[in-house]
Amino acid sequence: MTAEQIATVFRRLEKHLPEPATELEYQSDFELLIAVILSAQATDVSVNRATAKLYPVANTPGQIRKLGVARLKKYIQTIGLFNTKAQNIIRTCDLLVEKHDGEVPRTREELEALPGVGRKTANVILNTAFGQPTIAVDTHIFRVSNRTGIAPGKNVLEVEKGLLAAVPDRFKIHAHHWLILHGRYTCTARKPDCAACTLNDLCDSAFSW
C-alpha cells in the first residue's frame, strides 16, 4: 500500500470514529493497568464483568495487595489464565507500592518490569493512559495490518515497527484503537465483511475470502 493510500485509510477511519477509545472500563491509570493485564487472551466484555465487581471493593495497589491472591482469584476466576494473572497482579501491586508510590510508572522500562506486563500491555498503557504515540499490536491489529497491506509482518514486533513507520504522525495516537475496532467488528478473523468495509478499494485482500 502506498503512503497516500495509508493516509487515506486513516482519514476514513477517523471520519467514521473521530474519538476511538478502549472498550475496557476504567476510572484511573491503575484500573486500566489491571484491566489490560486481565485482558490477555480474554475478551474485554469478560474483563469488564469481573472488574465491575472487583473495583468497588479494591481499586488501588494497596487495596488489591491487601485482598491477597486467594480473594483476588474469586473476582477474576471467570477470566482465562486467572491463576497466573492473580499472582502477577499481586506482585505488580507490591512493586507499585514499594517502588512507585502506588502510581503507574510512565516509562516502557518501568512498565515492562512489572509482572504480567509485556511489550503489548506497556504500549497500551503508554498510549491510552499517557497519550504517547505507541501502537500495541494484538491479534486484531496483526491481522488487519497484514490483510490490508498497511504493515505486513511475520510477527507482532515486525508489524509494530511497520506501523510506526507507515502511519502518519497525526494518526498515531488513535491508530491502535482504530485498527483494533476495525478488526473486531469488520475485518473479523473468520468472516471479514469486505462488502461493508470502508477500506475495500484500498485493501490488498479485499473480497479474497
- Give the residues lining the site for ligand SF4 (CB under 6 A): 147-148, 186-187, 192-194, 197, 199-200, 203, 205-206
CB of 185 to ligand SF4, least distance (A): 10
Residues making up the chain, counted from first to last: 209
CB of 155 to ligand SF4, least distance (A): 20
User: 28 or 205, CB closer to ligand SF4?
Assistant: 205
Rounded to 10 deg, the angle between the 139-148 and 156-166 helix axes is: 60
DSSP 8-state code for residue 167: S
Long-range Cβ pairs for the range 182-187 (8 Å, 24+): 182/13, 182/140, 182/144, 183/139, 183/140, 183/141, 183/143, 183/144, 184/140, 187/140, 187/143, 187/144, 187/147, 187/148
Q: Which triple of cell numbers denotes residue 146?
A: 497484514
Q: 113: number of CA atoms within 13 Å, CB side?
A: 12
User: 60 or 186, CB closer to ligand SF4?
Assistant: 186
User: 170 or 207, CB closer to ligand SF4?
Assistant: 207
Element (H, E) at 100: none
CB of 5 to ligand SF4, least distance (A): 12
Give the contacts of 33 (CB within 8 A, at least 6 positions apart).
92, 104, 114, 117, 121, 125, 129
Query: Which candidate in 138, 169, 172, 201 is catalytic?
Result: 138
Yes or no: say if 150 and 144 are a contact pair by the CB < 8 Å rule: yes
* Residue 101 falls in the annotated catalytic set: no
CB of 32 to ligand SF4, least distance (A): 28
Query: Which candidate in 29, 44, 101, 120 is catalytic?
Result: 120
CB of 181 to ligand SF4, least distance (A): 12
* Residue 138 falls in the annotated catalytic set: yes
User: 72 or 197, CB closer to ligand SF4?
Assistant: 197
User: 93 or 144, CB closer to ligand SF4?
Assistant: 144
Q: Catalytic positions, please?
A: 120, 138
